[in-house]
């Protein structure tokens, strides 16, 4: 496997593929790794194993229940603290691309205990603005775990949809940065990096760019967040005035360049 992290994850990825092949059989079109593991900056203490499952036909309720049950069993054995995060989507929404993209089924650490306590809990059947950016990463930098690469099957997703997706992810940053400092600091860097350079980057790569390219008052903040993200430092304390100023500057630059 290309990409990677500090753990031998191939066994777990093989188990993921086996699970979906067994449950979905001919309905399975492809499984695509995206996120930190695909882009070589996986941190087992902070990162999910992120992937997208593409199917030909809608899942039945029984499909979803069995997938949830098998995922819970697998998730408890994962080497990373946050386990798995994935969405199942219909391939019809990739040709032509539909934004926001309808999601058949979703699993993440956020929903784990609800799945565990209620076998009838099935999260899906909604439109997800985040899927566009995840699919762009999977298309350009992802790893096909099963099926042909996305770039051999579908046209690239238009810039306007990718931009709408990453902008949606930083909505409310001026208020939320005090609570989710590391995540939003690196994500704001990633968005501005794309607008300035056109690069599709990870949070780590966006932060590395920001640490060298942003005005001096903000470089230390970005470096602290990078150190925390990569596990080289514990949770940092930040000055609220700096956080507010940083968010205001970044959002101003992003809004200036997005037009």
Question: What CATH number should be reported for the domain holding residue 85?
Answer: 3.30.460.10
Q: Is the pTM of this model over 0.85?
A: yes
Q: Is 61 helix (H, G, I), strand (E, B) or coil?
A: helix
> What stretches of the chain show up as alpha helix (H) in DSSP?
10-24, 61-75, 112-117, 131-141, 150-153, 159-169, 173-176, 181-197, 203-213, 216-229, 240-258
On whether residue 1 sits in a domain, the answer given is: no
The answer on 137 and 104 residing in a single domain is yes
Residue where a domain stops, chosen among 96, 129, 157:
157
**Co-location of 140 and 222 in the same domain:** no
Q: Does the structure show a pLDDT above 70 at 24?
A: yes
In a domain, 150, yes or no: yes
pLDDT of 166 above 70: yes
Same structural domain, 214 and 139: no
Domain count for the chain: 2
Do 65 and 119 contact (CB within 8 A), yes or no?
Answer: yes
Report the pLDDT value the prediction gives residue 82, as an integer from 0 to 100: 87
Domain boundary residue, one of 157, 186, 201:
157
In this prediction, residues 160-188 reach a mean pLDDT of 97
Same-domain check for residues 149 and 197: no
Lowest mean pLDDT among 46-50, 68-72, 222-226: 46-50
Distance CA 165, CA 143 (A): 21
Last residue in a domain, options 109, 131, 157: 157
Q: Are residues 119 and 44 in the same domain?
A: yes
Residues 108 and 131 placed together within one structural domain of the fold: yes
Count other C-beta atoms under 10 Å from residue 81's C-beta: 12
Angle at 148 between CA 146 and CA 150, to 5 degrees: 105
pLDDT digits (tens, 9 = 90+) for 103-113: 999 999 999 99
Expressed as residue numbers, the domain containing 211 is 170-258
Asked if the structure places residue 2 within a domain, the reply is no
pLDDT value of position 235: 77
Assess whether 61 and 86 both reside in one domain.
yes
pLDDT value at 193 more than 90: yes
Interhelix angle 181-197/216-229, rounded to 10 degrees, is: 120
Domain check: are 203 and 138 in the same one? no
């Amino acid at each position: 496997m290309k990409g990677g992290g500090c753990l031998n994850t191939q066994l777990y990825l093989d188990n993921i593929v086996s699970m979906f092949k067994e449950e979905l059989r001919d309905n399975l079109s492809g499984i695509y790794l995206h996120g930190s593991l695909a882009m070589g900056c996986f941190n087992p203490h902070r990162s999910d194993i992120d992937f997208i499952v593409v199917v030909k036909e809608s899942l039945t309720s029984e499909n979803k229940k069995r997938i949830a049950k098998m995922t819970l069993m697998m998730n408890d054995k994962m080497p990373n603290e946050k386990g798995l995060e994935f969405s199942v989507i219909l391939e019809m929404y990739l040709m032509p691309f539909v934004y926001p993209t309808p999601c058949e089924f979703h699993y993440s650490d956020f929903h784990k205990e609800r799945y565990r306590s209620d076998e009838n809990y099935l999260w899906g059947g909604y439109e997800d603005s985040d899927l566009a950016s995840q699919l762009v990463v999977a298309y350009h930098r992802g790893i096909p775990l099963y099926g042909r690469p996305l770039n051999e099957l579908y046209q690239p997703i238009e810039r306007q949809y990718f931009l709408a997706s990453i902008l949606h992810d930083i909505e409310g940053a001026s208020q939320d940065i005090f609570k989710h400092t590391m995540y939003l600091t690196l994500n704001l860097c990633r968005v501005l990096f794309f607008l300035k350079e056109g690069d599709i980057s990870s949070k780590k790569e966006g932060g590395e760019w920001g640490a060298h390219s942003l005005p001096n008052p903000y470089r230390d903040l970005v470096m602290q967040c990078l150190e925390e993200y990569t596990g080289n430092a514990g949770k940092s304390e930040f000055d609220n005035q700096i956080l507010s100023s940083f968010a205001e500057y970044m959002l101003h630059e992003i809004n200036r360049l997005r037009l």
